[in-house]
Chains A and B, each alone.
Chain A
Amino acid sequence: MNHFDEDEALARLRAADPASGAHPDLRKISERLDGRTPVGASGGFAFSDTSDTAVRVHDPDVRTGRGGILVAAAVAALALGGGGYALGTTAGDDNIPTVAANDSSSDDSSSAVTHDAGPALDHGLSPAADGNAAEDMSGDDAMSEESMGGGYAGPVIPVAGEALSTERTTGTVYGASTDSMWSEGEAKDLLQGYADRLGIEGTVQDEGGDFAHVVDSIDGRNLAVYSYGTNSSLDYNNPTLDPWCEDMRAEMENSDGDYGWFGYGSEGPSDITCTELGPTPDEATAIAMAEKFLSQLELDYTGYTVQIQPPYSPEMDEMGGGDAAYATSAPGESQLYDPESTSTEVVVSTTDGPLAGFQDWHLSVTSEGVSYASIQFGDYVELGDYPVISPAEAVERVNDVRFQQLGAYIPTLDYYDEPGYYEEWVEPEPLPPIAPGEPIPYPLTESAVTAAELHTGIVSLWDGTEFIVPVYDLSDGQGNHWQVMGLAEEALDFTP
């Protein structure tokens, strides 16, 4: 189903792959894994390519087998204690990727700002006259005051502006409702219920408790439920209404007979009848069909907004090149944007939840019915009001390594409308050479945070558990933003 040669857009996207030729620092990765995983412990890495147990590191750009083996050997040397590093990992600390206290690199990284900031600023920014960070900050460079934080020759360290509040506050925290979470093995039963409502008749395949799927033995309509932590989803697809129907049919026909909708050996019909589709339904019709489908599944969308998804977001027009008509296009016009479109896209959004738009449902509606649906589950319930740090404290927290490794983010926030967002980043001038004995440049730029907005955001834990928490969006008016979780430490359990 690849049509790269026929599609310049996709070919250009492929050519723009920023990872071409990138090779990982396996030593660094294996250091992070040591003590948390048995990497290298099996002896599976070998020092010679004649070893029976050698494992080749698969690297598409390493053309010699020996190169791969040698890289692997370097990993083995580390994992077996021959690498001369001391991580001092602690048993049971694999939930939160903290850096061990005796790891000098962590000391360096955290103290670089707190202890060395003075000297670094003194020396590192002394070449400012050559047009680097300090000059950018003063606005004398080609960069305007409103530009997007580019041109700095090093990290921008936020400091609390004078007007920043030191008042603490409180904020509501939401967690997944236990009613909407699945217990082990429940996926299969849930799926069976949805399949029954849609009249899908097939054998439910349970793939380990958190993933299950079923395919109708006659028409190939398929359903899948997937659970990850506190998130779960239901996906529906009717291949007979799919624009790729004929392609899929051909694949099935050309397979060796065991090839099913979910891979070899999976259930499903060997052949389906593709449905002739009419023009894409208009807005009212598409919404009515989507609602009927949701009702058939007995999914409650009370309090949700059901609307047509415009092909482009309104922000497009800010960029130039966008067509204002698209942002508010009627479904009829949307056919102009994709003349081959066979479906109208319907989005069902929460409006009264703690984080509107976070769990949108998507449905593709054709003239003959819903061809595709993606439903997100997971009701969030209030856990109460929790203490929230002040904006000034939030600035300090940006530089606190403990809050950098387990991030919180604001999914509904974007900065499209900021002036200069689409400006090119200007590379700073290279640093001048230094004389022997002179301090090594380590340029840091301090920037005063002038605004702190408290939003609702997400903190995700390693197993997919998510909480909706207060998250600060800090900004300096120069185009730099920092998002940092707002919950005070007394509201957090640091137990590994």
Chain B
Amino acid sequence: MRATPRDAAWFDRLFAEHAVAVHRYFVRRAPRQEAEDLAAEVFAVAWRRRDSIPEEFVLPWLYKTASYVLSNHRRKPTLTLLADYGSESPDRSISVDPADLVVEDAEVRAALDRLSTRDRQVLMLHAWEGLDGEGLAKALGITRGGAAAALSRARARLREAWVT
């Protein structure tokens, strides 16, 4: 039995609390002008699936949903060509890797380019969305230990891929 009913007031609070974070998730990964539309889609899904959102992991759940929404809405930007690194990804939340598009630091972009989709996904959730431990695990849809191992590997590869 949940302490808080998943009603309109709950949804308003959810939206107010997490709108900025979800929006930024897309700013980092999609053409800027699409970020609001994509963020709205995540909240629409959140309302429909409100009963399956874990109470203590709302934001990781939203990020995981965001990754699916991003996959659904993926389109080639017209001004910049981005690669689909899908074949390496162990899961379905394949990012279009707009790091290429939006990361201004050329060295960071080059380092990210060298990583697998999975590594990029883990690193972005950690470094930009600030997830760690259980939150990272929930967003990735894996166990906490698995997330820690994935992050450890991704960080090692990032260090290695670094252009010095």
Chain A contact residues, CB within 8 Å of chain B: 1-2, 7-10, 12-19, 22-26, 28-33, 36-45, 53, 55-60, 68, 72, 75, 94, 97, 148-150, 152, 155-156, 207-210, 213, 220, 222-224, 226, 228, 231, 233, 235-239, 242-244, 247-248, 251, 261-264, 311-313, 316, 319, 321-322, 337-338, 340-341, 345, 356-358, 360-362, 364, 371-372, 374, 376, 404-407, 409-416, 418, 421-422, 424-425, 458, 460-464, 466, 479-483
CB of B84 within 8 A of CB of A19, answer no
Contact of A460 among B47, B68, B146 (CB under 8 A): B68
A361 to B, closest residue via Cβ = B90
Nearest chain B residue, comparing its CB with the CB of A416:
B83
Q: Map CB proximity to A onto B102-136 as digits: 1 under 8 Å, 0 otherwise.
A: 11111111111110101000010011100011100
In the complex the two chains form, is A26's CB within 8 Å of B114's CB?
Answer: no
List 7 A-B residue pairs with CB atoms under 8 Å apart, sorted by A's residue number: A36-B44, A38-B11, A237-B142, A362-B118, A416-B83, A480-B78, A482-B76
Which A residues touch B18, using CB under 8 A?
A: 58
Residues of B within 8 A of A (CB): 7-9, 11-13, 15-21, 23-25, 27-28, 35-37, 39-41, 43-45, 47-49, 51-52, 54, 56-57, 68, 71-76, 78-81, 83-92, 94, 99, 102-114, 116, 118, 123, 126-128, 132-134, 141-146, 148-150, 152-153, 155-163
Inter-chain CA distance A464–B116, complex, in Å, is 23
Contacts of A31 in B (CB 8 A): 40
Q: Using Cβ atoms and an 8 Å threshold, which residues of chain B touch A12?
A: 105, 107-108
Q: Which residue of B lies closest to A371 (CB)?
A: B149
In the complex, how many angstroms separate the beta carbon of B3 from the nearest chain A beta carbon? 14
Residues of B within 8 A of A19 (CB): 24-25, 27-28, 128
Of all chain A residues, the one with the shortest Cβ separation from B162 is A9
Q: Are the C-beta atoms of B158 and A10 separated by less than 8 Å?
A: yes
- Chain B min CB distance to A284 (Å): 22
A-B interface pairs (CB < 8 A), number = 331
B contact residues around A59 at 8 Å (CB): 20
Identity of the chain B residue whose Cβ is nearest the Cβ of A60 in the assembled complex: B20
Chain A residues near B79 (CB-CB < 8 A): 149-150, 152, 156, 425
The answer to whether A404 and B149 touch (CB under 8 A), given A37-B44, A224-B143, A261-B144, is: no
Q: Contacts A2-B132, A39-B11, A42-B11 hold; do A13 and B127 have CB atoms under 8 A apart? A: yes
Contacts of A481 in B (CB 8 A): 76, 81
- A223-B47 Cα distance, complex, nearest whole Å: 29
A155 to B75 alpha-carbon distance, docked (Å): 13
B156 neighbours in A (Cβ, 8 Å): 338, 340-341
How far apart are the CA atoms of A407 and B19 in the complex, in Å?
23
Of A22, A37, A38, A237, the contact of B23 (CB 8 Å cutoff): A22
Query: Chain A residues with Cβ under 8 A from B12's Cβ?
Result: 38-42, 44-45, 55
The answer on a CB contact under 8 Å between A1 and B108 is no
- Residue from A14, A26, A247, A371 within 8 A of B128 (CB atoms): A14
Chain A residue nearest to B141 (CB atoms) is: A226
Closest residue on chain B to residue A99 by CB atoms: B37
- Does A231 lie within 8 Å of B92, measured CB to CB? yes
